[in-house]
């Protein structure tokens, strides 16, 4: 593979004097092969910080599980992490379609590829342990929000990353494939919680999580306390407007937006009580403008699966994050499901 390196640079912001705040030292858990300047970065959660400053801020970047898997596979191949498998994998990438390649790749039983981000927090890949460690960080930052984190919290550091070349295979094309859950199931849970923690920081002037949660040791108890509130709130649409209005055997679609906030809403889709995938309501829908429902129409969502998955009698739930608010099912969806 002849790969051209393209570097994207985060940071280097000039902050007005009247907006500057006192910045603590930063320690970043970096398992994305990012080039990080002006701070200490560890590539494993178990690594002891060289800084050894108890007042320093601990930071971790979490990536969309499908994107991270694609990156992980690319990195495995481009750097020839395995002399035994590299040539074979490239050969099958060229000759097989995505579904057949995933089935063949699963037969290799390459342990590092099963929930690779969860592994970074616990080598046994226990989601309970991984969640506990995740909630112990001061900042849990989605990969796509690195630039915002630097701007708001750590303007002195610089982060550079290499843009990877897309492979023929992409795991996000197999969201409806049951094998996909084996590779990213726990990572999806971890990613969902990271979104919630980042939202908590953003909504509180980017304060560290340690100041927002009762304590890191009791963060699990805090989550349980808020669970009942979320269940109660999930029964009604208070701050959002939308509907899950379209469904076929391999597609689900709809629209939703927050009545006051401009950011695209993030959704989780469940099929018969099994987590299926995450998506964002950021697609353009001209009909929403024509019917005076939304000023820009950019609040639609549509997920196409690689094979039939929905049928009459299924239980379908679309939940709005971070509070797991149930998005109402429209008449066409109810008719399809036999409700």
Residues 107 and 48 in one domain: yes
Note the pLDDT of residue 218: 52
Residues 83 and 167 occupy one common structural domain: yes
Q: Maximum distance among all alpha carbons in the chain?
A: 62
Residues 112 and 182 both lie in one domain = yes
C-alpha 311/C-alpha 249 separation (Å) is 6
The pLDDT assigned to 30 comes to 85
38 falls within a domain: yes
Q: Is residue 229 part of a domain?
A: no
Is 188 inside a domain boundary?
yes
Q: What is the pLDDT of residue 45?
A: 56
312 and 190 in a single domain? The answer is no
Question: Is residue 231 in a domain?
Answer: no
Reduced to 3 states (helix: H, G, I; strand: E, B; else coil), residue 242 is strand
Q: Which domain holds residue 286?
A: 237-337
- Count of domains for the chain: 2
What's the pLDDT score for residue 221? Answer: 53
Of 191, 219, 247, the one marking the end of a domain is 219
Q: Are residues 89 and 164 in the same domain?
A: yes
The CATH number of residue 298's host domain is 2.60.40
pLDDT tens digits, 93-131: 999 999 999 999 999 999 999 999 999 999 899 988 999
Are residue 35 and residue 136 in the same domain, yes or no?
Answer: yes
Q: What angle do CA 17, 211, 189 make, to 5 degrees?
A: 110
Residues 85 and 137 in one domain: yes
Domain check: are 107 and 44 in the same one?
A: yes
Residue 275 shares a structural domain with residue 196: no
Please list the rounded mean pLDDT of every run of 10 residues in the chain (339 residues): 41 41 73 82 53 72 93 90 90 94 95 93 90 92 92 88 82 86 91 90 88 57 51 62 93 93 89 87 93 92 90 93 88 92
Q: Do residue 265 and residue 170 come from a single domain? A: no
Tally of CB atoms within 10 A around 15? 13
Q: pLDDT (tens digit, 9 = 90+) per residue, 251-283?
A: 999 999 998 888 899 898 999 988 888 899 999
Say yes or no: 182 and 270 in one domain.
Answer: no
């Amino acid at each position: 593979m002849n790969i051209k390196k393209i570097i994207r640079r985060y940071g280097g912001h000039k902050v007005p004097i009247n907006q500057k705040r006192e910045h603590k030292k930063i320690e970043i858990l970096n398992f994305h092969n990012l080039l990080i300047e002006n701070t200490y970065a560890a590539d494993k959660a178990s690594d002891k910080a060289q800084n050894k400053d108890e007042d320093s801020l601990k930071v971790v970047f979490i990536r969309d599980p499908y994107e991270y898997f694609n990156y992980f596979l690319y990195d495995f191949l481009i750097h020839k992490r395995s002399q035994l498998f590299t040539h074979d994998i490239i050969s099958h990438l060229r000759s097989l379609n995505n579904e057949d390649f995933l089935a063949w790749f699963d037969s290799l039983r390459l342990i590092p590829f099963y929930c690779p981000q969860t592994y970074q927090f616990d080598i046994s890949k226990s989601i309970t342990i991984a969640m506990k460690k995740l909630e112990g960080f001061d900042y849990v930052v989605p990969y796509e929000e690195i630039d915002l984190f630097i701007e708001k919290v750590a303007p002195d550091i610089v982060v550079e990353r290499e843009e990877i070349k897309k492979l023929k295979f992409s795991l996000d094309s197999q969201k409806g494939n049951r094998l996909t859950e084996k590779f990213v199931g726990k990572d999806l849970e971890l990613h969902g919680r990271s979104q919630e923690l980042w939202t908590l920081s953003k909504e509180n002037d980017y304060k560290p999580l340690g100041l927002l949660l009762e304590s890191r040791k009791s963060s699990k108890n805090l989550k349980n306390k808020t669970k009942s509130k979320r269940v109660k709130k999930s029964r009604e649409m208070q701050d959002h407007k939308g509907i899950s209005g379209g469904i076929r055997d391999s597609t689900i679609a709809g629209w939703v937006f927050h009545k006051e906030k401009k950011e695209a809403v993030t959704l989780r889709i469940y099929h018969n009580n099994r987590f299926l995938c995450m998506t964002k309501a950021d697609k353009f829908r001209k009909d929403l403008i024509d019917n005076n429902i939304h000023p820009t129409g950019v609040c639609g969502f549509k997920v196409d699966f690689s094979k039939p998955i929905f049928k009459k009698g299924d239980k379908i739930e679309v939940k709005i994050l971070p509070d797991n608010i149930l998005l109402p099912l429209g008449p066409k969806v109810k008719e399809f499901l036999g409700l």
